[in-house]
Chain A
Amino acid sequence: MKISLNQLKNYVDINVPVNELCDRMVLAGFEVEEIVDLSESLKNVVVGKIEKITPHPDSDHLQICMVNVGDEVQQIVTGAQNVFEGAYVPAALHDSYLPDGTHIKKGKLRGVPSVGMLCSGGELNLKDCDYKGAEVDGIMIMDDRYPAGTDMREVLDLFDYVIDFKITANRPDCNCILGVAKEISVVLGVPFKAPSTEYKTVGGDINDYIKVDVENYDLCPRYIGRFVKNLRIKESPRWLKHCLNASGMRPINNIVDITNFVMLETGQPMHAFNYDELTGKHIIVRNAKESESITTLDGKEHDLTPDMLVIADGQKPSCLAGIMGGIESEIEDDTKNLFLESAKFKRDNVRKTGRKLGIRTEASGRFERGVDVVNVSYAMDRALSLICELDAGDVVDGVLDRNQGLPEDKILTVTTESINALLGLCVPEDTMLSILNSLGLPTTLENGTLTCRVPSIRSDIEGRADLAEEVMRIYGYHHIKGTAIRGEITRGKLMPQRLLENRIKTVMIAGGAYEIMTYSFIGSKATAALNLPADDWRMQTVNILNPLGDEYSTMRTQLTTSMLSVLSTNYNRKIPSARLFEISKRFVAKELPLTEQPLELPTMSIGLYGENEDFFTLKGIIEQLMAELSATVTYTRSSEPYLHPGRQAYAMLGDTPVAVFGELHPETADNFSCAKRTYVAEIWLDKLQGIEKEKVIYKPLPKFPAVSRDFALLCDIDLPAGTIESTIRAAAGKLCEDVKLFDVYVGSQIPAGKKSIAYSATLRSKESTLTEEEIERVAQKIIKKLEEIGAELRK
């Protein structure tokens, strides 16, 4: 809410500098977004009176003006042709600044010295509505109201500040000049001066001119109409135009300006109808009918639906209730008679209609935040008072006030003790009493109980907490002093899932991985880039109805695509290797379309590329994680379409896959512009929750030495190493301490279709030192069992 400081001074004596005023308002709950010093926009530009004009000796179009600028006469060369001797004009002197930042200095034009420049309206950023004649072609010719030498800022009311107050959503009553002025009067402790609401009528009876019916009181709890005849449409006075400009509204004519000014002043939007354009002389507040439409003041045509409230005449919608008037009943220069509306419309209906039609106006914004039903008539009186003051028309007697009863003031009784208990302070009772009274909440105090009458304009005040806030923001939050919370001592605990994630992160970081964070929503086509079939569960996505764009439209069912995008970003920035992980959620709908909250399941992704990374570095990480989580898993081949068909696996916990990992399929790598050899894992942490960590019980250290035996084997290339290892372990039985793979070789010297694979088995007995014979016996058993699965000792 932008307000001119000079305007505010009409209602309250502001006896402090503007910065202090703003600081104190901030402390009372009114944030100040901006303070604009209007006088900064123009410097050293004065009213000049042209005394003499002579042609320029070296130019056809330049003229030399001798200009009286107050104390002296200065020579200014101009190219404009509309100047004449005796004219009052704006003169920018040496070292002056114009609104667009232009710095004017003395100089020579074709050899003739000129101390400055005569200005056009455009150069002063003025339109006809700001100063009559400002848009003329040439220099702005002014009237003689101000003597030569007068600072143009005085002429243009620029010795003023515009303060932009940020009004919180709970204070619609302060979305206006009077609301802010009342708060200032409380904050500064100076009286508030209400503007006049008195007006004269010329007799007659409104009922002879027009009829008003409200069909839908739900959407329009109050509607007031007045009739003004013999309009005298003209330009508004300077003060009014200045006030509108300061608040960012364009002056149009006195009637329209009065309605806009009253809205700014009282917060109540008004609407002016050209009475003679109203068919049937009948105003009906009703829902729009099917296939009705309206052309609004901005010239746009809108198709209406029955959920929209309109102000119709006897035939058609004439105004979109609370949003914008129709072009047909617009007030124009020759409008004779006025039907003036002041009403309350239901806020969410105004919002919905405005959104649907894509219109938001100063008026609709105020209705959306809520206007006060009582203030509706106050604003009407104020508008009529201004119509009289500006002699804009003759007010006809009679008021059409349609409502279904007005609310009574709320009475709240609250003990001062309970307010202090909430605050943790001892605000004196009398202080509370005087603060509440000064805020327009008539309050009495008896035996420590405050009885407070809350008018409807402060509908935000509902009880003790609200009164505590009112007291506190005036009493001052600096009185609050920090205290320790009391009560029983509690131990802060983490949820099991967070503990699990912390363990995982420790392992990942120790392993050299960096944690990433990506958005929870991905592009609608991202999942499909994994080449998943349409019926895959990951393709059954939950979608955002109003996304920022297609690339942020789908809640992810997997983290891999986000990981691939990040790997791609790094790869394409020529970063040679990456080891990354993310822990977040995947969103899985219980059913589609969505009827209840989707499952949000903790999920982890890992991504690697670079010369030291391969399938087994990734598998190594998975193994470490599973060990940390005490998950005893087995590995089986998987068949994810986005992974290399021969280099991917599930980690299985029993029959449940808990992770899938492998090398990226070259096609997927292409889809995401990733490194050719990229490795990714997706780990479904929800399936790894709740595994009890095995209780640690000390095992005695071995007393007898271990021996190791190597087995260099030749077998079919497809015989899994896992099978060989488990065969060795089984054959060695309880003597087996460890089995390690230490070499795999395929190539020359090995028959085609075969591989050479070598293991080292460590054997140890708990009872004695193993003898040669015992060792040999076990070795032979191992060899025999290996032969049974097709692995023979290399000769």
Chain B
Amino acid sequence: MREQLSKIREEALVAVKAATALSEIEELRVKFLGKKGEVSSILKQLGGLSAEERPVIGQLANEVRADIDAAISDAKKRLEADALNQKLAAEKLDITMPGKSGKIGGLHPINTVLNDMIDIFQSMGFDVVDGPEVETDYYNFEALNVPADHPARDMQDTFYLSDNLLLRTQTSAAQIRTMKTRKPPIRIVCPGRVFRADEVDATHSPVFHQMEGLVVDKGVTMCDLLGVLEKFAHEIYGPETKVKFRPSFFPFTEPSVEVDVSCSECGGKGCRVCKGTGWIEILGAGMVHPNVLRACDIDPEVYSGFAFGIGLDRLTTTRYKISDIRLLFENDIRFLEQF
């Protein structure tokens, strides 16, 4: 019996080790450890043994059962792991295939640029205000120091809706509305749509966008104007950007300047973008004209201020190197997707 048991153990361990499928293991478990299995049939014969031998053989039989059981359990784990690995291997994906996701759309490039500018000025404490696109002659011209017979009216071809109503030619009109409703200190920017009777071509559009800036307080200087515009230029064009003033004329500012920034394309050495000058004209600015302050009941002897107007469309076309301004209003999706 002793020999029978060791034979069973040997046979079983060899068979279990050789097994390659879980079903085989199960068969071996039944064969050796089942109710009618080989170990059980030995145990059934225990009754025929002497009292001395019975516990010894019994213990041996239990050891054999435990050994086989352990072997089966190991083999099961091994085979299960194999099976899992096979399954995982079979589930291998081509990870270069595209992901599944809903499409994300995008802002119009002009508004992307506008949002950047709003961020910059908002963080400098400027409120962002809006004004009407249909303006009265008074707000668009008269209060901005452009009386009816002023030649500056010819600088801008204006769309009229009636004798007195027009499509604003500049966001500067919002200056007046702001100064009439707020008291200094005033720090605002007013982005918006403006209109001029320009025939449509690659560089002209009768509808375009500006952002007007206005600061009015006691002791505001031209150096402050440069300080604010330098900050703006550094944020938009990079920290190395230089800003320079050139004298110019706008009826609503005095002194008036054109503002140039060093060309971000060539760093000021001169290239095609800056037409070899090293500078790019980006905006007009100046100290608010005393007549404008007076028109808004602000005493120019007490307060001073500066204003500037930035063309958004130009900024957008330069930033993205868009060669034709018409693309901005055509709205081809293949264009819009790029921003």
| Chains A and B are bound partners | yes
**Which residues of A pack against B, CB within 8 Å?**
26-29, 31, 168-172, 346-348, 351, 368-370, 421-425, 462-466, 468-469, 472-473, 477-478, 480-495, 497-498, 505, 508-521, 542-548, 552, 555, 566, 569-570, 573, 575, 578-580, 585, 587, 593-598, 600
Residues A510 and B226 in contact, CB atoms below 8 Å apart: no
B77-136 contacts to A, CB under 8 A, are 102-108, 110-111, 118, 121-130, 132-136
Asked whether B280 is an interface residue with its Cβ less than 8 Å from the other chain, the reply is: no
Per the bound structure, the CA–CA distance linking A65 and B247 in Å amounts to 58
Interfacial chain A residues near B222, Cβ < 8 Å: 422-425, 472, 480
Residues A29 and B128 in contact, CB atoms below 8 Å apart: no
Interfacial chain B residues near A169, Cβ < 8 Å: 150-152, 154-155, 249, 251
Q: Pick the contact of B336 from A494, A515, A593 — CB < 8 Å?
A: A515
Distance (whole angstroms) from the CB of B317 to the closest CB of chain A: 13
Residues B255 and A472 in contact, CB atoms below 8 Å apart: yes
Q: Which of B48-56, B60-68, B324-332 contacts A (4 or more CB under 8 A)?
A: B324-332
Q: List 9 A-B contacts (CB under 8 A).
A: A473-B255, A481-B223, A481-B226, A483-B223, A489-B125, A494-B118, A518-B331, A543-B161, A600-B133
Distance (whole angstroms) from the CB of B4 to the closest CB of chain A: 57
Residues B151 and A594 in contact, CB atoms below 8 Å apart: no
Per the bound structure, the CA–CA distance linking A372 and B337 in Å amounts to 57
Residues B106 and A585 in contact, CB atoms below 8 Å apart: no
Residues A575 and B149 in contact, CB atoms below 8 Å apart: no
Per the bound structure, the CA–CA distance linking A490 and B127 in Å amounts to 9
Distance (whole angstroms) from the CB of B274 to the closest CB of chain A: 15
Known: A424-B223, A492-B121. 18 other contacts (CB 8 A): A29-B247, A29-B249, A168-B249, A171-B249, A469-B254, A483-B226, A486-B217, A487-B185, A490-B127, A492-B127, A505-B107, A511-B105, A512-B103, A514-B108, A514-B337, A515-B107, A545-B159, A587-B133
Q: Which 8 A-B pairs have the closest CB atoms?
A: A424-B221, A424-B223, A492-B122, A348-B149, A469-B255, A168-B249, A29-B247, A482-B227
Per the bound structure, the CA–CA distance linking A490 and B215 in Å amounts to 12
Asked whether B207 is an interface residue with its Cβ less than 8 Å from the other chain, the reply is: yes
Interfacial chain B residues near A486, Cβ < 8 Å: 217, 219, 224
Residues B132 and A597 in contact, CB atoms below 8 Å apart: yes
Q: Which residue of A lies closest to B148 (CB)?
A: A348
Q: Which residue of B lies closest to A581 (CB)?
A: B105
Interface centre among A29, A423, A555, by most B CB within 10 Å?
Answer: A29
B235-268 contacts to A, CB under 8 A, are 243-249, 251, 254-257
Q: Which residue of A lies closest to B158 (CB)?
A: A546
Q: Pick the contact of B254 from A369, A465, A490 — CB < 8 Å?
A: A465
Distance (whole angstroms) from the CB of A569 to the closest CB of chain B: 7
Asked whether B70 is an interface residue with its Cβ less than 8 Å from the other chain, the reply is: no
Residues A514 and B105 in contact, CB atoms below 8 Å apart: yes
Interfacial chain B residues near A518, Cβ < 8 Å: 329, 331
Residues A517 and B328 in contact, CB atoms below 8 Å apart: yes
With A469-B247, A548-B206, A598-B134 known as contacts, the answer to whether A370 contacts B219 (CB < 8 A) is: no
Q: Which residue of B lies closest to A168 (CB)?
A: B249
Q: Pick the contact of A421 from B206, B219, B249 — CB < 8 Å?
A: B219
Residues B287 and A510 in contact, CB atoms below 8 Å apart: no
Residues B136 and A597 in contact, CB atoms below 8 Å apart: yes
Per the bound structure, the CA–CA distance linking A765 and B89 in Å amounts to 46
Asked whether B200 is an interface residue with its Cβ less than 8 Å from the other chain, the reply is: yes
Per the bound structure, the CA–CA distance linking A544 and B162 in Å amounts to 8
Residues B331 and A580 in contact, CB atoms below 8 Å apart: yes
Asked whether B199 is an interface residue with its Cβ less than 8 Å from the other chain, the reply is: yes
Residues B244 and A477 in contact, CB atoms below 8 Å apart: yes
Distance (whole angstroms) from the CB of A353 to the closest CB of chain B: 13
Per the bound structure, the CA–CA distance linking A682 and B85 in Å amounts to 56
Per the bound structure, the CA–CA distance linking A425 and B197 in Å amounts to 40
Residues B105 and A509 in contact, CB atoms below 8 Å apart: yes
Asked whether B309 is an interface residue with its Cβ less than 8 Å from the other chain, the reply is: no
Residues A516 and B336 in contact, CB atoms below 8 Å apart: yes
Interfacial chain B residues near A514, Cβ < 8 Å: 105-106, 108, 331, 333, 336-337
Asked whether B44 is an interface residue with its Cβ less than 8 Å from the other chain, the reply is: no
Q: Pick the contact of B248 from A168, A492, A548, A552 — CB < 8 Å?
A: A168
Q: Which residue of A lies closest to B197 (CB)?
A: A548
Asked whether B42 is an interface residue with its Cβ less than 8 Å from the other chain, the reply is: no
Distance (whole angstroms) from the CB of A479 to the closest CB of chain B: 9
**Which residues of B pack against A, CB within 8 Å?**
102-108, 110-111, 118, 121-130, 132-136, 148-152, 154-155, 159-162, 165, 167, 185, 187, 193, 195, 197, 199-200, 206-207, 215, 217-224, 226-231, 243-249, 251, 254-257, 287, 289-291, 300, 304, 328-334, 336-337
Per the bound structure, the CA–CA distance linking A617 and B48 in Å amounts to 84
Residues A517 and B331 in contact, CB atoms below 8 Å apart: yes
Residues B134 and A587 in contact, CB atoms below 8 Å apart: yes
Per the bound structure, the CA–CA distance linking A486 and B336 in Å amounts to 41
Q: Pick the contact of B199 from A422, A478, A548 — CB < 8 Å?
A: A548
Distance (whole angstroms) from the CB of B118 to the closest CB of chain A: 8
Interfacial chain A residues near B102, Cβ < 8 Å: 511-512
Q: Which residue of B lies closest to A352 (CB)?
A: B149
Interfacial chain B residues near A544, Cβ < 8 Å: 159-161, 167
Residues B128 and A482 in contact, CB atoms below 8 Å apart: no
Q: Pick the contact of B151 from A368, A468, A579 — CB < 8 Å?
A: A368
Per the bound structure, the CA–CA distance linking A552 and B102 in Å amounts to 37
Interfacial chain A residues near B159, Cβ < 8 Å: 544-547
Residues A423 and B290 in contact, CB atoms below 8 Å apart: no
Per the bound structure, the CA–CA distance linking A587 and B220 in Å amounts to 38
Residues B162 and A545 in contact, CB atoms below 8 Å apart: yes
Per the bound structure, the CA–CA distance linking A587 and B168 in Å amounts to 14
Q: Which residue of B lies closest to A370 (CB)?
A: B151
Interface centre among A27, A168, A497, A600, by most B CB within 10 Å?
Answer: A168
Residues B227 and A484 in contact, CB atoms below 8 Å apart: yes
Residues A512 and B123 in contact, CB atoms below 8 Å apart: no
Per the bound structure, the CA–CA distance linking A590 and B111 in Å amounts to 30
Residues A597 and B165 in contact, CB atoms below 8 Å apart: yes
Per the bound structure, the CA–CA distance linking A334 and B200 in Å amounts to 50
Residues B185 and A495 in contact, CB atoms below 8 Å apart: no
Residues A508 and B331 in contact, CB atoms below 8 Å apart: no
Residues B333 and A570 in contact, CB atoms below 8 Å apart: yes
Per the bound structure, the CA–CA distance linking A603 and B215 in Å amounts to 31
Distance (whole angstroms) from the CB of B307 to the closest CB of chain A: 13
Residues A465 and B127 in contact, CB atoms below 8 Å apart: no
Residues A569 and B104 in contact, CB atoms below 8 Å apart: no
Per the bound structure, the CA–CA distance linking A346 and B129 in Å amounts to 39
Residues B128 and A495 in contact, CB atoms below 8 Å apart: yes
Interfacial chain B residues near A546, Cβ < 8 Å: 159-160, 197
Interface centre among A423, A485, A494, A593, by most B CB within 10 Å?
Answer: A485
Residues A594 and B255 in contact, CB atoms below 8 Å apart: no
Distance (whole angstroms) from the CB of B60 to the closest CB of chain A: 54
Per the bound structure, the CA–CA distance linking A598 and B287 in Å amounts to 32
Residues B332 and A569 in contact, CB atoms below 8 Å apart: yes
Residues B161 and A485 in contact, CB atoms below 8 Å apart: no
Interfacial chain A residues near B206, Cβ < 8 Å: 519, 548, 552
Residues B221 and A421 in contact, CB atoms below 8 Å apart: yes
Distance (whole angstroms) from the CB of A77 to the closest CB of chain B: 43
Q: Pick the contact of A509 from B106, B134, B291 — CB < 8 Å?
A: B106
Residues B223 and A597 in contact, CB atoms below 8 Å apart: no
Interfacial chain B residues near A480, Cβ < 8 Å: 222-223, 226, 245
Interfacial chain A residues near B161, Cβ < 8 Å: 542-545, 555, 594, 598
Interfacial chain B residues near A552, Cβ < 8 Å: 206
With A169-B151, A498-B128 known as contacts, the answer to whether A29 contacts B248 (CB < 8 A) is: yes
Per the bound structure, the CA–CA distance linking A517 and B123 in Å amounts to 27
Q: Which residue of B lies closest to A477 (CB)?
A: B245
Distance (whole angstroms) from the CB of A477 to the closest CB of chain B: 4
Residues B221 and A347 in contact, CB atoms below 8 Å apart: no
Per the bound structure, the CA–CA distance linking A469 and B249 in Å amounts to 10
Distance (whole angstroms) from the CB of A681 to the closest CB of chain B: 15
With A465-B289, A544-B159 known as contacts, the answer to whether A490 contacts B197 (CB < 8 A) is: no
Interfacial chain B residues near A505, Cβ < 8 Å: 107, 111
Q: Pick the contact of A513 from B105, B110, B152 — CB < 8 Å?
A: B105
Residues B246 and A27 in contact, CB atoms below 8 Å apart: yes
With A569-B332, A597-B134 known as contacts, the answer to whether A469 contacts B256 (CB < 8 A) is: yes
